[in-house]
Structure 1
């Protein structure tokens, strides 16, 4: 009961999986959650190879009952919650003329409202422990990118939500950070489930710029992507540092890219400004 407890969403693969392993290695009691428990084999295998123990639980961020059950089950079994890492998310490629508003709503539901739901459920317990609230966003939460309108809108929303929340819960002892990866060599892109040729055939007038965008993006993921393990290092920095910044990029490329828009890389100037609003 003495070890600090972290709950991580979206741990079936990629950043979430590696963050769960790294947190357990760092001595945290790690509750690794995923939407579909049938996809937990890779997580279990990674834990066995690393020689660590994980508490693996079901959590679908789009299902309020599932969120509540995972949080309350963690409290019942471990007695505390010291950190939440919001990692669950889903990619999306498209442009609004060629898709429905309902398509956009689904992207927002997973990538934004799922974060909101998990955060709301965890906050009373994070206040009690003086804990950490960490969310994996994206450089796409800072710089909007072609054919990523819905995805970037969701990540922008997450960043705005967390930046606004940080000074408020900070007054009550909760530290908030966002982690901004660039290209990451994970199943995240594969899990979008797109057939490029079908995508181009349906793109109409947008086909040529879409082909150019996809070619450029595939090249970036092939040549400049970080590994999930590398990104997890930054996530664990946010979890364990004595005074982590609000905003953490995961690579020099991500810092340079977001720097085209953000002069305040770590978020300290914004939070100093808005914290003063609270007296």
Structure 2
């Protein structure tokens, strides 16, 4: 593959959901889109979506938890295409649990994918983004701003990403790289299914937390059934950041997400947040 004059974006976690939709949207907007995923054997839905949209995607393997895989993918993009103009850190994994019932190793696993995976990709990409005056975009979550019941490990990882990127942003800007956090709320994707839990079994095993987990599960299922965005709607925010003249540090993907994160950002003593999330578990 020869170098291309088109701008090049690398997106992680494109087998489904926001990553898939963002890859297709970027290609439709004229970007040479490197769509990466941990297992390229799971790329059928991605290929089908690209074909239906009439676009071509450059599909490559990348496991964000494996530094060798990350370096190989980024080096391959530069060798083949000669440039990298943007990265979208989208790969992530959910986790439902609470401190007393989780093992520390389970929490470490959540951090490896959702936090350290972002760092692996961003660190490998930054020299090339400096060269292009590019954009480093990370899909976090409203859970990176507001802590949520039974999401301690997941929210901790997303909080860490938010803090890291907010701190990095002014430093990167001195060298021409913009940093943006994209914060979705509920999105109707395979993300929830991919958490891989049996809700009834989890409730049965939750001990003194069973009643709270039951209330949380009912509320969360109802939210996803009634108020979730489509992946394409959430991906619109990613595309806007890719194309904006001066992208913001923090972008929410819906009015609900803006209202929810706004509650936290204006809540100096934490009472408004606990007043909201407390109703989720009782």
TM-score range, shorter chain: over 0.9
CA RMSD of aligned residues (A): 0.8
Task: Say if 2:90 is the partner of 1:87.
Answer: yes
Query: What are structure 1's unaligned runs of at least 5 residues?
Result: 265-279
C-alpha offsets along residues 216-247 of structure 1, whole Å, 9 cap, x if unaligned? 00000000000000000000001110001100
| Residues in 2 aligned to 1:235 and 1:49: alpha-carbon distance in whole angstroms | 20
Match of 1:196? 199
Match of 1:271? none
C-alpha offsets along residues 24-75 of structure 1, whole Å, 9 cap, x if unaligned? 0000000000000110000000000000010000000000010001000000
Match of 1:261? 264
| Residues in 2 aligned to 1:184 and 1:118: alpha-carbon distance in whole angstroms | 24
C-alpha offsets along residues 165-190 of structure 1, whole Å, 9 cap, x if unaligned? 00001000000000000000000000
| Residues in 1 aligned to 2:234 and 2:140: alpha-carbon distance in whole angstroms | 12
Q: Runs ≥4 in structure 1, deviation > 6 angstroms?
A: none
After TM superposition, the structure 1 = structure 2 runs for residues 1-279 of structure 1, keeping only pairs within 5 Å, are 1-263=4-266
Query: What are structure 2's unaligned runs of at least 5 residues?
Result: 268-282
Q: How many residues align?
A: 264
Query: How much does 1:115 deviate?
Result: 0.1
| Residues in 1 aligned to 2:254 and 2:172: alpha-carbon distance in whole angstroms | 28
| Residues in 1 aligned to 2:173 and 2:22: alpha-carbon distance in whole angstroms | 24
